[in-house]
Amino acid sequence: MDQRRGAVTAPLLQLMSKNATNTRGNRRARPPRRVRWWAWLRLILLGVVLAGVTGTVMVLPLLPTGRVVLEEGDVAPEDIRAPRSITYESAILRMEEQERAAAAVRPIYTRPDPARARQQLDRARQVLDYLGAVRADTLASPAQKRGWILAVPELADFPSETLDILLTLPDESWDRVQWETLAVIDQAMRHQIREGYLEDAREGVPALVSLDLSDEEAAVTIALAQRFLVPNSFLDATATAEAQARAREEVSSVLRTFKAGQIIVREGEPVTALHIEALDQLGLRQPQVKWIDFVGPGLLAALGTALLFLYLARFQPDVLWDGRQLLLLVLLLSLFVLGAGLMVPGGVVLRYLSPAPSLAMLATAALGPHAGVAASIFLGGAAGVIADNSLEIATYTALGGLVAALTLGRVERIGALFRAGAYVALAHVTVIAIFRLPQDITQPRDLLASALAGVANGPISASLALGMLFLIGPLFDVITTMRLIELSRPDHPLLQRLLREAPATYHHSLMVANLAEQAAESLSANVLLTRVGAYYHDVGKIARPYFFVENQVEGMNPHDQLDPRTSAEIIIGHVKDGLELARRYRLPRRVRAFISEHHGTSRASFLYSKAVQQAGDATQVDESDFRYPGPKPQSRETALVMLADSCEAAVRAARPTSAEEVTEIVNRVIADRVADGQLSECDLTLHDLEITRQAFISSLKGLSHPRIKYPSKEQETGERKPEAKGRRKVSDSRLSRS
């Protein structure tokens, strides 16, 4: 038996290695070439819509907030009162106190510079020597002497009366004046003469002059000494600034208190910065929105949209290039971003009731887990910005959605939604405890209300997702678990027609469904979709049920009176008829794919061989007339139904009596499909085909077990039943397997 199995399996593996395409995880990330430009345009337009909606909601409030639009300098249109009591640290009042403290700091000056005193004393000696020489000049006139003295820079403004005294003083008096002038300068420059305070120092010179001098001598001494005084202490800007900074730091916080109902700003009163601060603290002011306010959120929304699309292009490209799926994703995201804009700013409890996890559940159930993950992160970022850049809300929203997407799976049962909702509730409570527990430990009532809202969010989100799943399936022609469950019910009108009008085909479809379902489960493919697709794959036979052998009465085969080409048109036409029925009964696109792809582009071999035999030469027969229109299977699920359909029909026609015969039939059928290239466009790998082969053999062995042939009544009694007249031999049953 092992030798026989190896002999059959070897050519199968050889054919698979030549023709099968390993494309798992490498699905096309770009649209078909003939519609690529439109797919890109659609992607860009819907991306702009999503970014525009998100950016707008980030900036503009969606509900009336009861807040006023006021800026500093505006006139208050009415009395504005505090809605509640509040005490807050006023940054403006503290700044004013800091400025007052800094202004109270006295300027810091440098110490008196001795070099400046020596410099001025040396200069004074030079000038006094010059004045002595002028006085001693007997040839010069008084006017000339006066001019020479006033030419000295320090003496340019020397009083004329004092100058006359200087020129007429006796030599003894002049000697006393010179000595006293130098003494006064030395004494004055030893003290601090601050920059900007020179006049104060000059005014103090008379007090330094000796009382032994005469009035004339004192006047000349004072005038001369005043002209040689200069500042010797300058402002130390660095030390002064440091002292002012220390003074500002020493100012403690300034608290401002408003009682509930207290007027903050009166009607007609100009609005000051202090008013604006109080309104902001109470949340009563809505800033004026300008176009520049849209730039940051708009760029952030555009970046988030781009990252969303890049993630999907890498992990789930079908969502981007399928128009219905992309439109559904953008509409769901826009709807839930608007919902976040309504609920997140609505209050402490309301923001925790925002059913954001519903988005992840819907996206996961309708589009796939990667779409759910990407949508959760996108919505989490948007909600965080809407909540004034709150890390808590961003984490709460994103984590709840991620938990929903990662725990949901394929949603093959309604209970899966509520199980995911329970995990979401647990994640929400964890986030609330992390962020709120440290700051709300003294307010247990608020903390409890937030936690209860987070727990309630789980079942609320699951219920909302369940209701919306029934709506989005028919509207967007996408496959959802709820819709597949509805289509799998035996009382569906189309299945009822198949049962009544083509009962044998109906039972054949059930067998194919069971066979394909076993393989799909082994491959972790979409089991429910595979089963439903198998139910409907042959509904086209309803149009002409008796042209297919499983529905024929023994001895009555209408193909006996038809030429092979006409028979092929009828047999192949059941695909077209099935698609028309599927559209009439509004079957989803993914289910219709099983009708068009379950034969791929394979050939009706028996009819083709019969046509060649009648024509006598293969060149006289157009092979395309005997091939199905296709397309070839595009997914693992449709490929499994193709193989299950062929294997079940072949085994039923051959009626094998042993497991070895079943194995040989299955191997031959799969090898034929691989050799014909029918699996070249789907994701089945060599490993997948081997698992599928084993699953088919295991299932079909149970159907072909040996049965005891019981004797008939005639055999028991020895009587012979007369044969029916006019009975003809049944034509080749392979017509129904084509």
d(CA 197, CA 193): 7
pLDDT confidence of residue 729: 38
pLDDT at residue 74 greater than cutoff 70? yes
Higher pLDDT, 562 or 673: 673
- Please tell me the predicted confidence (pLDDT) of residue 736: 43
216-234 pLDDT, tens digit per residue, is 999 999 999 999 999 998 8
Residue 277's pLDDT is: 86
pLDDT (0 to 100) of residue 490: 93
CB within 8 A of 118, min separation 6: which ones? none
- Residue among 727, 738, 735, 737 at smallest CA distance from 553: 727
CATH architecture of 490-706+728-737: Orthogonal Bundle (1.10)
Section 355-378 average pLDDT: 92
Q: Where are the domains of the chain?
A: 29-62+291-483, 114-227, 490-706+728-737
Percentage with pLDDT > 90 across the chain? 45
Residue 666 CA, distance from chain mean position: 48
Backbone dihedral angles phi then psi of residue 251, each to the nearest 5 degrees = -75, 125
Residue 434 has pLDDT above 60, yes or no: yes
pLDDT of 10 strictly over 80: no
Checking if the pLDDT of 730 tops 90, the result is no
Q: Residue 387: pLDDT band by 50, 70, 90 thresholds? A: confident
HSE-CB for 386 with a 13 A CA cutoff: 34
Residue 19 has pLDDT above 50, yes or no: no
Look over the chain and give the mean of its residue pLDDT values, rounded to a whole number: 84
- Average pLDDT score over residue span 301-323: 92
- What's residue 59's pLDDT? 79
For residue 235, which phi and psi values (nearest 5 degrees)?
Answer: -65, 130
Q: Are strands 255-258 and 80-81 parallel, antiparallel or unpaired?
A: unpaired
Lowest-confidence pick of 38-47, 292-301, 585-594, 670-679: 292-301
- Beta-bridge partner residues of 87: 257
Q: Is the N-terminal amide bond of 656 cis, ω within 30° of 0?
A: no
Tokens of 149: 């003295």
pLDDT in tens, 246-282: 998 998 888 998 898 888 888 888 988 888 888 888 7
> Residue 317 pLDDT > 60, yes or no?
yes
Dihedral angle over CA of 653, 657, 658, 660, nearest 10: -40
Q: DSSP letter string over 179-242?
A: HHHHHHHHHHHTS--BTT-HHHHHHTSGGGS-TTS-HHHHHHHHHHHHHT----B-B-HHHHHH
Whether the predicted pLDDT of 20 surpasses 80: no
- DSSP per-residue codes, 30-91: S--GGGHHHHHHHHHHHHHHHHHHHHHHHHS-SS----B---TTPBPSS-EE-SS-EEEE-H
Quick one: pLDDT at residue 721? 45
Q: With 0-12 CB in 10 A as exposed, 13-18 as middle and 19+ as buried, what is 573?
A: middle
pLDDT of residue 7: 44
Q: What is the largest CA-CA distance in the chain?
A: 184
Taking the C-alpha atoms of residue 541 and residue 506, their distance in angstroms, rounded to an integer, is 10
Which pLDDT tens digit goes with each residue over 546-557?
A: 888 787 766 677
d(CA 616, CA 420): 66
Cα–Cα distances in angstroms (integers) from residue 616 to residues 608, 609, 613, 730, in the given order: 12, 10, 5, 25
Contact yes or no for 718/49 (Cβ under 8 A): no
CA distance 249 to 226: 43
What is the pLDDT, as a whole number, of residue 441? 61
Q: Which of 274, 398, 259 is nearest to 336 (CA)?
A: 398
Distance (Å, whole) CA 364 – CA 411: 9
